[in-house]
């Protein structure tokens, strides 16, 4: 990744804020996505993942802050930029009156780099017949068509908003494989939001956790696995009010004591009570600890 990080980020979000009425959904979100990375954006329901993705693509107006895609504000993207962008919305509805072939044919005409073979292969893999009208497809099938539409132009930047939410496990694996293939073959940068932690672990190179309107964690997946640990702190010893070195979160446990997430905890051993226990941390546990 060293070579990649030297390049300017494809997506840059600075202090982005979004309110719905009096409810603050995004509160000063800052994020940079380097070329070639596969970023998994996780967060609880209603955390603002879709809002963040829509704001950074300019589909939704932000109330504060700024977003840059390909180095420019999204509303200034020209056709050349649009040809390098693929997007799968969370609810892929529309074009009801068209068949799959008609819709993909219309879209293919807009992209000089449209990969017809890839589209045909995915249609075949997912058993989608081109003469079927979109209005007759199930939500999962519509999502598959939307994914094909987004992948076939072989974009430089692929943004997927919960692409696997309506897919069956087989279709989900196919999607993940295609994402990895795109990233490896073309160096495509991928940003996808999801609840499914196992998907993240399979394909993501980086993870960003959105919680309370802010990015609580943004790091390479390997770094997270290597450097983050869960510390169980016994109830018998008072927990200092000031955060421990490398502390990311703390949570009281029902059975007594505390659960803390620490970065580089191994370096700080000896500063804790003798009963404290340090455990490795699965990604799902990390999500629960940080978003609980």
Partner 1 sequence: MNARALRQLAPPIWAYVLYALLLAVFLGMTLYPFLSGRSTETQTPWPATWVVIAAVWSWLVGQQMCLTAHRMLPLRLPRIASSLRKSVGLHAVVGVALPVLTVQLWQPSASMLSALAAALWLGSAISLLTLSLPVPLAVVPALVLILGWDHFDAPAVQFVAGSIALLLAELCWRWHLSRLRPGIWAPCGAWLGGRSLQASLPLQTGRRSPPVNGSPAGMVSSASPVPARYDQDLLARMLGRRFQTFRQAYGRRGQWLIWLLVAGCIAGLLALGRVWPEPAWGKDKVAILAIMLMLLIDHSQHMVDKLLTKRRTQWVELYLAPGLPPRAHLEGAVMRQIFRCVGERVLLLALFLPAVVQLSYSLNMWWALWWVCFALIVLLQGVHKAWLSWHGRPLSAITLWATARIAGFFALSLSTNLWLLQQHSPYGPMSYAWTALGWVIYLGAMLAHFRTARRRINTRTNGDGWNG
C-beta closer to partner 1: residue 145 or 176: 145
Task: Report if residue 64 touches partner 1, rule: CB under 8 A.
Answer: yes
Question: How many Å apart are CA 90 and CA 73, to the nearest integer?
Answer: 22
> What whole-number distance in Å separates Cα of residue 273 and Cα of residue 252?
17
Give the residue, chosen from 91, 99, 125, 268, that forms a contact with partner 1 under the rule CB under 8 A.
91
Q: Is 72 in the site for partner 1 (CB under 8 A)?
A: yes
Considering the rule CB under 8 A, would residue 63 count as an interface residue with partner 1?
A: yes
Residue 146 sits in the site that holds partner 1 (CB under 8 A) = yes
Q: b vs e for 4-26, b when ≥16 Cβ sit within 10 Å of the residue's Cβ?
A: eeeeebbbbbeebbbeeeeebbb
- Beta-bridge mates of residue 146: none
Positions in 232-271 near partner 1 (CB under 8 A): none
> Is residue 84 a contact point for partner 1 (CB under 8 A)?
yes
Quick check: 96 binds partner 1 (CB under 8 A)? yes
Between 48 and 257, whose beta carbon lies closer to partner 1? 48
Please report the DSSP string for 149-209 in residue order. HHHTT--SEEEEESTTTT--HHHHHHHHHHHHHHHHHH--EEEEEES-HHHHHHH-SEEEE
Interface with partner 1, residue 95, by CB under 8 A: yes
**Does residue number 66 form part of the binding site for partner 1 (CB under 8 A)?**
yes
Torsion of CA 146, 10, 184, 182, to 10 degrees: 10
Token duo for residue 102: 């008609």
Quick note: the x/- pattern for partner 1 over 98-137, rule CB under 8 A, is --------xx-xxx--------------------------
Residues that bind partner 1 (CB under 8 A): 7-8, 35, 57-67, 70-73, 75-85, 87, 89, 91-97, 106-107, 109-111, 146
């Amino acid at each position: 990744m060293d070579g990649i990080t030297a390049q300017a980020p494809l997506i840059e979000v600075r202090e982005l804020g979004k309110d719905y009425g009096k409810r603050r959904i995004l509160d000063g979100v800052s994020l940079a996505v380097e070329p070639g990375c596969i970023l998994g954006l996780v967060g609880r329901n209603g955390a603002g993942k879709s809002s963040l993705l829509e704001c950074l693509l300019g589909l939704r107006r932000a109330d504060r802050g700024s977003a840059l895609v390909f180095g420019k504000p999204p509303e200034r993207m020209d056709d050349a930029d649009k040809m390098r962008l693929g997007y799968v919305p969370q609810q892929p509805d529309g074009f009801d009156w068209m068949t799959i072939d008609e819709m993909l044919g219309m879209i293919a005409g807009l992209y000089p780099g449209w990969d017809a073979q890839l589209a045909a292969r995915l249609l075949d893999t997912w058993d989608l017949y081109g003469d079927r009208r979109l209005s007759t497809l199930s939500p999962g099938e519509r999502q598959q068509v939307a994914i094909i539409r987004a992948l076939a132009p072989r974009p430089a930047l692929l943004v997927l908003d919960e692409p696997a939410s309506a897919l069956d496990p087989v279709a989900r694996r196919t999607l993940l494989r295609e994402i990895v293939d795109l990233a490896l073959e073309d160096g495509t940068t991928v940003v996808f939001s999801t609840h499914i932690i196992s998907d993240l672990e399979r394909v993501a190179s980086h993870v960003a956790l959105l919680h309370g309107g802010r990015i609580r964690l943004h790091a390479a997946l390997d770094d997270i696995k290597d450097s983050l640990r869960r510390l169980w702190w016994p109830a018998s010893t008072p927990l200092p009010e000031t955060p421990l070195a490398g502390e990311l979160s703390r949570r009281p446990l029902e059975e007594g004591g505390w659960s803390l997430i620490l970065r580089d905890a191994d370096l700080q051993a000896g500063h804790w009570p003798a009963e404290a226990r340090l455990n490795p941390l699965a990604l799902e546990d990390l999500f629960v600890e940080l978003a609980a």
